[in-house]
A and B are shown apart, each in its own frame.
Chain A
Amino acid sequence: MSTTTQKSSITPGSILLYGSLFVLALLFLMPAYMAIVTALKDPANISLPTAWELPEKFNWQSFPQAFGLLKSNIASSLILTVCATALSTVLGSLNGYVFSKWKFKGSELIFTLFLFGMFIPYQVILIPLFQTLRAMNLYGGLPGLILAHVVYGLPITSLIFRNFYSQIPTALVESARLDGAGFFSIYTKIVFPLSIPGFVVTSLWQVTQIWNEFLWGICLTRHEDNPITVGLAQLAGGQAVSWNLPMAGSMMAALPVLMIYIFLGRYFIRGLLAGSVKE
């Protein structure tokens, strides 16, 4: 059986397989190619009919220029992403611990009610959220946005940790309990040290979501605290800007998550799969 797969390198089937994969890969890479090529062109040489052609001379200036325009947005996004991710993963870890190892009457129902929060279209809570943040004096700045990301991140972070902790044998927790360990000491001594992969998966998921989020960014922050997605949308929507800047800006906005994806792909995909509520 295995000899056929190893020996027969060229069959009509394999030509078809590799051919389709090659074409599909080209299609999937097309936008990335276009972004890079356009970002490297001199604004004067960007024209629609020649959009696909390589630049005659590389113009690296687009990157520092776009960075200058998006600097404050990138700073906001960094602060936002780090704070909101840290808070929501820690809370999610504690919740997941309770949901999987300290089940009580009705805890499954509460968990289900949490899950539902993951699927609502966020438009349905936007107006009261806006009002509440205004009443709390948190509208316009980063703290309000962080709060929103932490609260609405709770369902997914609790879910991922709950599924992760259910793999830790309950016997381990039981025996620690017999040895006199309490709720928090079981967490700090047994569960937490085992949860590094859980933290990696959950934070990668949260970083991706928070860095890429747009709706709250545009509705809940003032200009000076706009995250990168809002900054990029404004840059790309400007009339006088030529296309090299938005393309360079897009690449910068994509870079952090893209790096995570390329270097920590395994965890990234695990996060994706965990987000699909498979149990």
Chain B
Amino acid sequence: MREASRDRLKAFLTLLPSIILIAVFVYGFIGNTIWISMTDWGGSGALAFDPQKNFIGLDNYVDLFNGFLSAGFRQDLVNAVYYSLMLLAGAIGLGMFIAILLDQKPKGEDVLRTIFLYPMSLSFIVSGTIWRWLLAPQGGVNVLPTYLGFDALDFQWTSSTKAILEFNWQNILQILIYIAAFILILVGLFLLKGDPQKAVKRWLGPGVVIGAFAWLGGSLLPKTLFMEEMHGFNLATLGIIIATVWQYAGYTMALYLAGFNGISQDLRDAAMLDGASSTNYYRYVAIPMLKPITISAVIILSHISLKMFDIIFAMTGPDNAQTGHPALNMYMTTFRANDFARGAAIAIVLFLVAGTFIVPYVIGQYKQRRRG
């Protein structure tokens, strides 16, 4: 018995250094960054060993969202949303499509799998360097059509100044409420079949109410800015999105392929016997069964898209305007402009966005382990 308790102590002591390191380097540092973001640390003396920091509360955040000079950050934030959505849609869609193709066990499956997955082994700097050359305005992808007898494209891949789906930042509150209403209604419609009462009460009803509120009372809502400021989906970001989808589609393919292989052949045969076509098998049996994989892919890819820094740095350089991302902005603000407090505030905004889907996921994993 004494032997056993001594072993338990040894086990705990083995873990202790890591616990301390994680406690300090993850949680302590996050706390420190939150504190820094509420100070005015920056300027010429910022790099002194004992720099001056005064507490200024949430001013840095307020300034990021409605300060006159922070339009760049707001565009970066909008870009980040589009980067994430497009990377998710592109990598999951394409990855799933390739996985379904390879699940038919074509000849040369191994070679093909290797080809689709190799971009994943490259660093963003390497792929960014190559894609920058591929997306050069008068060469690369733009001249490809000439080999088929068409005219060359003249799309300005990473420097276009065109934006589509523009909206006025002034009305950001109203827009956010619309989005919330849209999500609620969407979830409600999904649940309508299973439990109509709960779907209407919890999701559809509230969604319609706040949607109507934003529509009718939109003009009553406070304006974020005192003037118009347009932001939208910058076409310059398309090149970077293509490069990241190219790099990560293979990863989702590997995830889905592993999932498809895990589904028993019996189940597949049973579905086929019941008269399901291939399309129906994937649509109604295989893909719904792989929901956990889709969730993991969403988590991992959103995490990647939120720290998208290297590839933008490599493709458009640090001083880009159209293709910016908060992660890159944070680096520039902190380490080029020595404005540590603002850099910290940008980092915390990124962290909060990441937290909204990571925290539920990690808690879900924890509960699952406790049960299992």
Contact = CB atoms under 8 A, between A and B. Distances in A.
B296 interface: yes
Nearest to A260: B121
A123 to B, nearest CB: 4
B347 A279 contact: no
Given A125-B25, A214-B125, A214-B310, A31 B131 contact: yes
B263 interface: no
A48 B310 contact: no
A127 B359 CA distance: 23
A91 B354 contact: no
- Secondary structure dominating the interface of A: helix
A236 B343 CA distance: 26
A51 interface: yes
Contact of B14 (A25, A49, A94, A250): A94
Contacts of B122: 212, 254, 257-258
A158 interface: yes
Contacts of B134: 30-31, 34
Contact of A279 (B131, B306, B368): B368
Interface residues of B, number: 104
A52 B307 CA distance: 32
Contacts of A249: 129
A110 B11 CA distance: 14
B115 A28 contact: yes
Interface string B286-300: 000000110011011
Interface in A101-132: 102, 104, 107-117, 119-129, 132
Contact of B307 (A98, A121, A183): A121
A34 B351 contact: no
Given A123-B327, A128-B29, A215-B331, A246 B10 contact: no
A24 B116 contact: yes
B118 interface: yes
Contacts of A120: 26, 30, 351, 354, 358
A27 to B, nearest CB: 8
B125 A232 contact: yes
A67 interface: no
Contacts of A95: 14-15, 18
A155 interface: yes
Contacts of B296: 276-278
Interface in B319-372: 327, 330-331, 334-335, 340, 343-344, 346-348, 350-351, 354, 358-359, 361-363, 365-366, 368-370, 372
Nearest to A246: B129
Given A31-B131, A52-B143, A119 B254 contact: no
B144 A52 contact: yes
A101 to B, nearest CB: 8
A25 B112 contact: yes
B32 interface: yes
B350 A123 contact: yes
B101 interface: yes
A154 interface: yes
Interface string A82-107: 00000000010011011100101001
Nearest to A186: B7
Contacts of A155: 22
Contacts of A98: 11-12, 14-15
Interface string B1-45: 001101110111011011101100111111011001000000000
Given A48-B143, A261-B121, A278 B293 contact: yes
Contacts of A112: 362-363, 365-366, 369
A275 interface: yes
A279 B27 CA distance: 25
B264 interface: no
B115 to A, nearest CB: 5
Given A95-B18, A124-B348, A151-B25, A272 B129 contact: no
Looking at A124, A180, A265, A268, which has the most chain B CB atoms within 10 Å of its CB? A124
Contacts of A31: 119, 127, 130-131, 134, 246
A165 interface: no
Looking at B18, B98, B314, B331, which has the most chain A CB atoms within 10 Å of its CB? B18
A208 interface: yes
14 contacts: A28-B115, A28-B250, A49-B143, A98-B15, A123-B347, A124-B347, A177-B4, A177-B7, A184-B10, A215-B309, A236-B314, A254-B123, A257-B121, A258-B118
Given A98-B15, A123-B351, 11 more contacts: A27-B246, A94-B15, A95-B15, A98-B11, A98-B12, A102-B7, A121-B306, A121-B327, A123-B309, A127-B334, A277-B365
Listed from nearest, the 3 A-B pairs whose CB atoms lie closest are A48-B139, A212-B123, A102-B11
